[in-house]
Structure 1
Amino acid sequence: MKKKTDKTMVFCDTEAEYAQAMMEFLKKCRNLPWELHTYTNVQDLIREEKTEIEMLVIAESVYNGEIQTLHPKQLVILSESGIMQWENVIYVDKYQAAEEVLKQLLGVYMEVAEVQMPRLCTNRKTIFIGNYSPVRRCMQTSFAITMSQILAEEHSTLYLNFEHYAGIAELVPDMQTFDMADLLYFLNADKEKFRMRMRTMLRHKGGLDYIPPMKTGQNLLTVTSEEWIDFLRKIEELEEYEYVILDLSESMQGLFDILRMCSRVYTLTKEDRIARAKLLQYEQVLALHEYEDILDKTKRLTLPRIHRLPEELELLTKGELADLVKDLLKELDADNNEAEL
């Protein structure tokens, strides 16, 4: 059951199909800061709306001076013509993806909100799953995304890529898109404001949430170990995700401390001599620095030859690699159940 909020967002558009579609989308979103009221007639809105309006979102074609009698704390015009007809009013483009409309509305709200995002009182434990190998070109990212997509079919799941070059064009943001570096900038914000910032930066593939990886891998090198740990703890404190899948690399300070946070670590390798030598050296370094506990929860895998991977990320839930991952997740689930007994 959703936590009740005394803050109201009123949405008004005479284009009934658009209003209904937008409300259906918003109602599916977790932890919005408003109770939602929808109108397709301005006079009904003025006559019936008795609550204090935190945010009024109204289509440009129906906005008029009477609306001001409602005294909303924030007024947003859904722009239809692309012309800014009124001053001192915030405009959001109506004809874009619903997800983008929501991100912009949250951004507007966040600038002045005193009380931030409510959340579900789930007491949910977040399970971090690490993916790291010193061996290159071992299909680590394909493996991690496949696992993320399969988990997301039944569990709230977040995928985070920390590689210097993510290597998957669908995940890499263009230069205008917020990425993980932008979210880290807000690390010291209070928890609920961080929640809202994160919501504005989230992207989705099917049921999977992800934050776009850093556009410039060099930025990874500048983040301290303490900042990475604080970042992951902050995500854990949100209690929104059952699983957070970490696609890790040496480009991070504090890699071993992050691996130590994980309930399970998957290390993919190969069978050739160089791969074995790299893995041995990695394990020796862990032991040298007293991180042997990471080895205790590490599962080493040599993948069979995968003949073909789907081109679309959403299709990674089917095929040879998916079958292997599903078996591993059954093992993980059994181990988690045993640990809870």
Structure 2
Amino acid sequence: MAVCDGNIRYAERLADYANERGKIPFRAVAFSSAERLREYAAKHSVEILLAGETVPAEELEGIQARQIIYLGEEKRADAARLPSVYKYQNSDRLLREVMACYDGEDWGESVPIAGRGRLIGIYSPVGRCGKTAFALTLAQVWKETEKTLLVSLEDCSGFGEMAGESYGECLSDLLYRYCHGGGCWEKLGAFVYSWGNVDYIPPARYPEDLEGISAMEMAGFLEDMAAESGYGVIVVDLGQMGRQAAEILEACDAVYMPVLEDWVSQAKVREFEAYLAGSGRDGVAERLEKLKLPSGNRPSAGENYPEQLLWGELGDFTRRLVRGGREREEE
């Protein structure tokens, strides 16, 4: 992706942000002039050209770019320069709008961007066990070394209120595109939001959207995402999927199950383990790691909730867990 704007500092900051946050499946490069861009485009493929409104149209003529998207100086788009995104807005939102405008659907068969990523499933038949907090923390810890995405399959996650976001497209829309053969992965950045240091896809709009897809289809969706999205790690919070969770967990490379020690909770865990054994899912049972999460004080509410988790007792616990898993893989 090329960013060409009369304000080179703006172009450099936007390109650096896009590369750092990994919201787009391309490397972003900033250019101070159309002439420099023309030289680059003669030798390299340019999928998206973000062109500042102040760059004269005649200077862009002949530059080989798959699609030009203009950086508008005003919120009201110039009808002569479309598609357009408003230049002076939150960078996350700008990149989502860029990917929503990107017309990459005629690529035909999608091509893996960076090899298959690791799928990590989090599930528990026990309620109030800290599963959501652990998922948020695990995604942040992995992001310290790998490009990481959090996917929540919870019916009612509360993410919108907690993160202070009003979502446009969400997991419901991505699943619809996937199930109906639309291009998904090259436009994934249009669906990714950030909450602190957590990159995530907003959960399904309605519980019925998850009920309308089978466990087998969901497992295929997540496996394809791991193979083609360019993320090194995808953390999946399976929510309240019940016994359907087993089929999705079979697609995961690692499975974590937060548990509690009371009699009722232990009975629920034993019943799920018996179901795995009875249904022939020994592979899931072997990868499943039960966790008793720290029971210290939980962070207070607020936009920095994920950061509080990361640097609190749960963050320390999760770092040790991830480090231990890596060491076992290296042995």
- Please classify the TM superposition score into its range, dividing by the shorter chain length: 0.7 to 0.9
Whole-Å separation in 2 of the counterparts to 1:71 and 1:326: 47
Going from structure 1 to structure 2, the CA distance change for 1:332 and 1:46 (only over 3 Å counts) comes to closer
Q: Distance in 2 between matches of 1:10 and 1:329?
A: 36
Correspondence 1:159 to 2:150: yes
Matched, 1:199 2:189: yes
Alignment of 1:173-188 (within 5 A): 174=166, 176-188=167-179
Tell me the CA shift for residue 38 of structure 1: 1.5
What is the aligned partner in structure 1 of residue 269 from structure 2?
279
Match of 2:219 in 1: 229
Which residue of structure 2 lines up, in the alignment, with residue 38 of structure 1? 31
5 Å-filtered alignment, 1:6-25, equals 10-25=2-17
Do structure 1's residue 267 and structure 2's residue 257 form an aligned pair? yes
2:221 is aligned with what amino acid?
F
Q: Deviations over 1:51-94 (max 9, x none)?
A: 4976543333x255634744766443322233444447322111
Q: Are 1:318 and 2:315 matched, yes or no?
A: no
Deviation at 1:319, TM superposition (A): 1.8
Aligned equivalents of 1:28 and 1:305: distance in 2?
A: 34
SS at match of 1:254: helix
The answer to whether the Cα contact below 8 Å between 1:46 and 1:70 also exists between their aligned partners in 2 is: no
Deviation at 1:234, TM superposition (A): 0.8
Q: Please say if 1:82 is aligned against 2:75.
A: yes
Q: Distance in 1 between matches of 2:108 and 2:21?
A: 19
In structure 1, distance between residues paired with 2:77 and 2:128: 51
Amino acid in the other structure paired with 1:309: P
| Structure 1 alignment gaps of length 5 or more | 1-8
Tell me the CA shift for residue 218 of structure 1: 2.8
Contact 1:286–1:292, Cα closer than 8 Å, also in 2: yes
Aligned: 1:332 with 2:325: yes
Q: Distance in 2 between matches of 1:112 and 1:300?
A: 42
Corresponding residue for residue 4 of structure 1: none
**Counterpart of 2:284 in structure 1: which amino acid?**
I
Deviation at 1:96, TM superposition (A): 1.0
Secondary structure class of the residue paired with 2:121 = strand
Q: Contact 1:221–1:252 at 8 Å: present in 2 too?
A: no
Deviations along 1:99-140, one digit per CA (max 9) or x if unpaired, are: 3222322333325764898765x545x332221111111111
TM-score, length basis structure 1: 0.79
320-329 vs 111-120, greater mean Cα deviation = 111-120
Give runs of aligned pairs for residues 132-151 of structure 1, distance below 5 A: 132-151=123-142
**Number of the residue aligned with 1:66:** 58
Q: Which has the larger radius of gyration?
A: 1
SS at match of 2:178: coil
Inter-CA distance 279–194: structure 2 relative to 1 (3 Å threshold): same
Partner of 1:5: none
The answer to whether the Cα contact below 8 Å between 2:258 and 2:293 also exists between their aligned partners in 1 is: yes
Listed as ranges, the gaps of 5+ residues in structure 2 are none
Query: Could you tell me which residue of structure 2 aligns to residue 238 of structure 1?
Result: 228
Q: Distance in 2 between matches of 1:128 and 1:214?
A: 19
Aligned CA distance change for structure 1 residues 246 and 12 (closer, same or farther; 3 Å):
closer
SS at match of 1:309: coil
Structure 1 residues 253 and 94, CA, compared in 2 at 3 Å: closer, same or farther? farther
Q: 1:218 to 1:18 in 2, by over 3 A?
A: same
Whether contact under 8 Å (2:130, 2:258) holds in the other structure is: yes
Distance 2:288 2:40 in 1: 57
Question: Could you tell me which amino acid in structure 2 is paired with residue 279 of structure 1?
Answer: V
Matched residue type, 1:257: E
CA contact (8 A) 1:46 1:67 kept: no
Q: Percent identity between the aligned chains?
A: 25
